[in-house]
C-alpha cells in the first residue's frame, strides 16, 4: 500500500497531524476507531468520505511510522 497518495500533512489542519486525503480525519482518529473494535464497513458507513483504501493507508502509515521509516513532509 502506497499510503503517500492517501495521507497528507497540512500545517493548518488538525494541528499538522497526518490526515486522510486532506480531510479533517486524522490517521489517529482512524486507528482509534479500529482499536475500539469498529469494522472497516462501520467506519465507512459512519464517515462516508472514507474508503477502505483510506483505512488501509492509515494502517500502512502507522506500520511504517512504528518502524521509523515514515517520510512525509508538510
**Strands 7-8, 19-20: pairing kind:** antiparallel
Q: Is the pLDDT of residue 7 over 80?
A: yes
**pLDDT class of 41 with cuts at 50, 70, 90:** very high
Domain assignment of residue 72, yes or no:
no
Q: Report the CATH number that the domain containing residue 55 is assigned in CATH.
A: 1.10.10.10
Residue 46 lies in a domain: yes
Question: Has residue 73 been placed in a domain?
Answer: no
Distance CA 36, CA 39 (A): 9
Query: What is the domain range of residue 46?
Result: 3-67
Average pLDDT of every residue of the chain = 92
CA 41, CA 45: separation in Å to the nearest integer? 6
**Residue 19 in this model has a pLDDT that exceeds 80:** yes
Q: Is the pLDDT of residue 72 over 70?
A: no
Amino acid at each position: 500500500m502506497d499510503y503517500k497518495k492517501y495521507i497528507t500533512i497540512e500545517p493548518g489542519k488538525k494541528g499538522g497531524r497526518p490526515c486522510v486525503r486532506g480531510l479533517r480525519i486524522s490517521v489517529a482518529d482512524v486507528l482509534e476507531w479500529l482499536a475500539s473494535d469498529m469494522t472497516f464497513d462501520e467506519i465507512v458507513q459512519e464517515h462516508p468520505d472514507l474508503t477502505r483504501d483510506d483505512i488501509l493507508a492509515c494502517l500502512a502509515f502507522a506500520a511504517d511510522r512504528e518502524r521509523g521509516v515514515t517520510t512525509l513532509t508538510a
